[in-house]
Every structure is written in C-alpha cells, then in structure tokens.
Structure 1
Amino acid sequence: MDFRTMITCPKPDFSITHSDRGLLMGSCFAENIGTLMVENKFCCDVNPYGILYNPLSVAKALRELTLGKQYEESDLFFFQECYHSYMHHGSFSSLSSKECLDGINARLQKGHEAISRLNYLIITFGTSWVYILKETGEVVSNCHKLPADYFIRRRLNVQEIVSDYSALINDLIERHSQLKIIFTVSPIRHLKDGLHGNQISKATLLLAISELQDLYPESVYNFPAYEIVIDELRDYRFYADDMVHPSSVAIQYIWEAFTALYFSKETRAVMKECDDIHKSLAHKPFRKQSEEYKRFLMQIVLKTERLKEKYPYLDVQKEIELCHILLNQ
C-alpha cells in the first residue's frame, strides 16, 4: 500500500546546467535552495537584498538590480541606534551609515552583474501580506521593528501580483529572450496570520503563479515546494522545533525533488563528482605526514583538475588550493 499522496509535476522543456547563470530571490526557502546550489558549484547569486517575503518587494528588487541602482544615505533611516534600509534584511543594518551603504552596494553590484547575464531566475514567494509605510505609501520589505502604527498592513490580490509581474517579465524577457523563470511558494507557514489567513495568503500566491504560467507558457514554470511539504510529507516530524520551518530532512527531500526535475543526468553526475571530492577532503588521516596520505591528496588534485578540464566553467579552485595547503603541512 502507498501511504503518501505524491505530487506530480510535468518535466520542463529545459534543464539547468553548471554553465548557466542564475539568480535566486525571495523567502528563506530561496536561501535554503540557493545555498545548496552554490555548494554544488552552480553559478548563481542568492538574495542580494537578504530575505524578501512579499511579491512586490521581490519585483522592486529585481528592477533595481536590472538598473544597477546604488543606494545613498537618503535611502536609509535611523532607528534604535542603527541605520537601516526598508528594502533590505536586517543583516545589512549597521551603527554606521557608511558601513551600511558599503554592504548594500557591494551586494547590489554583484547582483547587477548576475542579472545582466541571466539564464534562469528562481523566485520564492513567502506571503501575500504587505506592509505599506504611511509616510511614503511604499511597500516595505522589512519593518525593522518600527512601531506598527507607522504602517498599513493589507493582503495583495491575485490581479495586483499578476499585473506587476507581467510588466516585470516582459522587461526581463526583452533583455534575456531565453530566460526561464521558476516560481515557488515557500512551505513556511506564517502563523501570525492565523492558519486560515496563512492558507488564503498561500492560495493567492499559487493562483497568481498559475495565471503567470498561462500568460508566459514558454518562460514561466512552477516548482511545487509548498505542495510537497503540505501533501507529500504532511507530518510534524518534517518540521523544525518551531513547527513552522521545514526540517533539514524536509529541505533535503525537496532539494532531491528539484534536482530530479530541473537537472539533467549529466549535471547530477557532475554534482556527484564534486560531492565525492568534498567528502575526500573532509577525510581525517591517522598521520598527516604519511606518504600514503600525500598520495591520497594527489589523487584528489588529479581528479579535481580532470573535472575542471572537462567542465571549464566549474569553480573548483578552492578545492585545488586546499589540497596543496594540506600537502605542504
């Protein structure tokens, strides 16, 4: 008997390879998948603004990256002894405005370079609720614990999201005609909205993505991360201790589903070779000075160099350098 409801997702008409250039934007789920992609030697940038939750903030960030915006002190505000940006995660906040701006603009420059030569874009929506700063009427990405009466809180509707993203996607496709955009909805539940409110919020996001798929069938795709956790895993053992975020096991399960859907057999083989190299480098020898261990390290160097020769776009320089450091100890 089968005790699970399996999610079926049609195989896309493209695959992601290590030679492709990518950008991941959105909630902390985008951070999880992006971290795994970077670890597996994919050429991608992850959340240049830090974690973003609502669709309008993600869209605004993508437009700023496309235009190469650089932030100035007038884009910041001072609160509780720190400088902050309404568009950025609190990890960019600083006691010094210069330090805050330096951190923001360095990441924006890297993000601008990534978006200027893009093959794929992965966007993860977290919530359809937004906070609007009363003073300016702008949707903010982060409230930075300012008093609640500074903001108006409301839920976006499907058409607002579709309208904003239609304009954004048109612009992106004009710049990158072969661009593939993968949308996901974060499986992380926003319990402050209440369980019913969270479901309405997620449903709004899913409906908006479905409409965008209908409008751009050759460019827009959906990966059912939310549905996998809610329907396939459907058990609190797949959540972290807070009972809100997916556990490491759940993230690995979703990652394997993602790789099976979007990576070719050859790409997965390259990932396996990279993983074997990492495991070999993590090996703890009985005697570091032994000839046997040095031969073992030389084999890793040769294996890594052969991999680099076969796939010149793979960034394995750190692994080669680490081998030489271990050899010279």
Structure 2
Amino acid sequence: MTIGSCFAEVIGRRLHDSKAQVVVNPFGTIFNPLSVSKLLRGAISQQRDFDQNLVQHNGIWYAYDLHSSLSSPNRDELLATITNLLDTTRTALQQAKLLIITLGTAVGYRLLSSGEVVANCHKIPARNFNRELLPLHTLQQDMESTLEQLQLFNPKLQVLLTVSPVRHIKETIEINSVSKSILRVLCHQMTTNQQVRYFPAYEIMVDDLRDYRFYGRDMVHPTEVAEDYIWDKFVQAYLSQEFRDFLQEWEKIRRALSHRPFHTASEAHQKFLKNTIDQLQALSRRYSIDTAAEEQSITQQLIV
C-alpha cells in the first residue's frame, strides 16, 4: 500500500502496472505527516470522527482530511465514501507486507474553527486557516504513535518512508528547503525502528540527477525520465531478484501490447497477437500473476 504525496501515486501506479498487489493512495494526495498519520490511525481504529471535519463549499461537500477528488454534492454519500475507504484501507493494512509513506511538506494549514491541521483546504478562503511550519517534535511524537499502532495491528508490516522530490515552492523556496529538512530528519528518527526503512527519492533527485532538465515545465515535478531513474533505483534496492527477472519479461510484453499496427487483419499481425497471448499465459503460470485483462484485450482483436 502507498499513501501520501503525489510521489506515492507515482510509485504505487508503477507497482500496479508491474502486476504487484497494491492499494494506491486510497485517500488521494495527502502532503503533510499529521494528516497521513490521522488517516492511517482512522483506518485501523474503530473510533472515527471524520464526519466532524466536513465542509460544504459552492454546493459540494468536502472532507478536510481527504483530497478534493473525494467529494460529493450529498453529505451522506460523502460519509459513505469515507467509511468505505477506511474499511478498505483497514483490510489492506491487515494483509500488507509493505506500507510506503511519502511525505511532501512540513507546512500545515490549521483550521481556525477547530484548531486541527487539515489535509486539504479545498479552495476555501485563506482567512479560515493559519499556515504554519509544523514542529519536528510534534511530527515525531505523532509518527511514532502511528507506527506503534500499525505494528500492533499488523506485526509483519514493514514501513518504507520517503520524502517527495516534488518541490513545494508555493510556500517559497526558503520554506520549501526548511520543510524538506524537517521531513528528512523526521524520517531519520523513525528508522531507529527496525521495521522502518528510508528510500532516498528526494536525495536522488536533488543530489544525483541534480539538474533542472529533470524537472517538468512547471519546474516543480520530476520529468518522466527522472521518475524512470528513481523507479529503477527503487527496483534495484527493494524488489527481489525474481521480481526483477519478471519485470524484464513483463516490459517486453508491455511494449508488444502498446504496438499499434497499420493492418490489424494481416496474417503477420494476427500471428503476433496469438504469440503474445501464449507469452502472457506462460508468464502467468511461471509467476502466478493475473493476465486475464490483457489476454481478453488481445483476444478481441483476433479474427476468427
């Protein structure tokens, strides 16, 4: 399972596309550590109060603890969605071997009416919030408590922390630097726990790649080339040799699946499709993966 900033989405989607069994960012993009921890604790606990953190804006109901994409015109529907997400996440955490947490920023927005740090302001007027740099000791106590509860809930769960390489320069360049430093120290403190490790996605971006050509046009997000590079480092560091062997074979088939022929009815292309189905079935047997969707997609292109 992955949770956290948009980099958690990137890693999660790549794992999913590589046939790993993974739940990807179930609550949408969440940037600050307090909000990530609150959602994890809410998922494994039966005591939930997320219905207290709803707000209606321009006729749409939002949850301060979730991403804006998880919203609804109907309050009860949103509450049902939240309950379902928490239950699904609880089940995933019960079964998971690995939880990847990606932290984006140590800047938090505190809702004045409740005093709580929110995950998302949902474009509600800024006068309703106080922006603050969250103190390291507060984040450390909160994360320690969360990790402790997770390990009691699932003793076999390993946690991999990362600091997102995405730059939060809307908070200013100076604050982004301080924020990333706080997150990096927080992760370092957490790795004293034997079940917690750290993957240096942030360091790979700023110290290894170290060039603005690896940022997109917004100068904030890594390019696809940078993501490929970081993903390869992740694969080499954490995936088993068997998984890496599978990825090499799977990548060849993925390229075959993306092939767009000029003449779909030609004898050569039809033979190519049948060969690809055979390769998928062989891969499925060898690595115990589900290739039914890919096989069905190709079968629909066959001319009987």
TM-score, normalised relative to structure 2 = 0.93
Match of 1:327 in 2: 302
- CA distance in 2 between counterparts of 1:108 and 1:252 reads 31
Once the two structures are TM-superposed, the CA of residue 323 in structure 1 deviates from its matched residue by 2.0
Does residue 49 (structure 1) correspond to residue 27 (structure 2)? The answer is: yes
Structure having greater relative contact order (Cα 8 Å, sep ≥ 6): 1
Match of 1:196 in 2: 174
- CA distance in 1 between counterparts of 2:261 and 2:163 reads 44
Within-5 A mapping of 1:300-315? 300-312=276-288, 314-315=289-290
Match of 2:209 in 1: 233
Residue identity opposite 1:176 in structure 2: N
Match of 1:158 in 2: 136
Once the two structures are TM-superposed, the CA of residue 276 in structure 1 deviates from its matched residue by 1.7
Q: Which SS does the other structure have where 1:46 is aligned?
A: coil
- CA distance in 2 between counterparts of 1:54 and 1:40 reads 28
Does residue 117 (structure 1) correspond to residue 99 (structure 2)? The answer is: no
Corresponding residue to 1:280 among 256, 265, 270: 256
Q: 1:247 to 1:67 in 2, by over 3 A?
A: same
Residue identity opposite 2:229 in structure 1: Y
Does residue 128 (structure 1) correspond to residue 106 (structure 2)? The answer is: yes
Deviates more, 1:74-83 or 1:146-155: 74-83
Corresponding residue to 1:247 among 208, 223, 237: 223
TM-score, normalised relative to structure 1 = 0.86
Aligned-pair Cα RMSD in Å: 2.0
Match of 1:26 in 2: 4
Residue identity opposite 2:196 in structure 1: V
Q: Which SS does the other structure have where 1:167 is aligned?
A: helix
Q: Deviations over 1:21-55 (max 9, x none)?
A: xx101011111111111111111111111000000
Is the Cα–Cα contact under 8 Å of residues 187 and 246 in structure 1 kept in the other structure? Answer: yes
Is the Cα–Cα contact under 8 Å of residues 41 and 149 in structure 2 kept in the other structure? Answer: no
Residue identity opposite 1:67 in structure 2: S
Is the Cα–Cα contact under 8 Å of residues 55 and 125 in structure 1 kept in the other structure? Answer: yes
Q: 1:136 to 1:73 in 2, by over 3 A?
A: closer
Residue identity opposite 2:293 in structure 1: K
Is the Cα–Cα contact under 8 Å of residues 265 and 303 in structure 2 kept in the other structure? Answer: no
Q: 1:72 to 1:229 in 2, by over 3 A?
A: closer
- CA distance in 2 between counterparts of 1:155 and 1:73 reads 26
Is the Cα–Cα contact under 8 Å of residues 71 and 104 in structure 1 kept in the other structure? Answer: no
Deviates more, 1:89-98 or 1:26-35: 89-98
Is the Cα–Cα contact under 8 Å of residues 76 and 84 in structure 1 kept in the other structure? Answer: yes
Once the two structures are TM-superposed, the CA of residue 315 in structure 1 deviates from its matched residue by 2.6
Q: Which SS does the other structure have where 1:131 is aligned?
A: strand
Once the two structures are TM-superposed, the CA of residue 155 in structure 1 deviates from its matched residue by 1.5
Q: Which SS does the other structure have where 1:326 is aligned?
A: coil
Q: Deviations over 1:268-325 (max 9, x none)?
A: 111122222222222233432334333322222222112222222x232211111221
Unaligned runs of 5+ in 1: 1-22
- CA distance in 1 between counterparts of 2:275 and 2:24 reads 33
Once the two structures are TM-superposed, the CA of residue 106 in structure 1 deviates from its matched residue by 4.2
Tell me which stretches of 4 or more aligned residues in structure 1 moved more than 4 Å.
68-75
Match of 1:10 in 2: none
Residue identity opposite 2:171 in structure 1: D
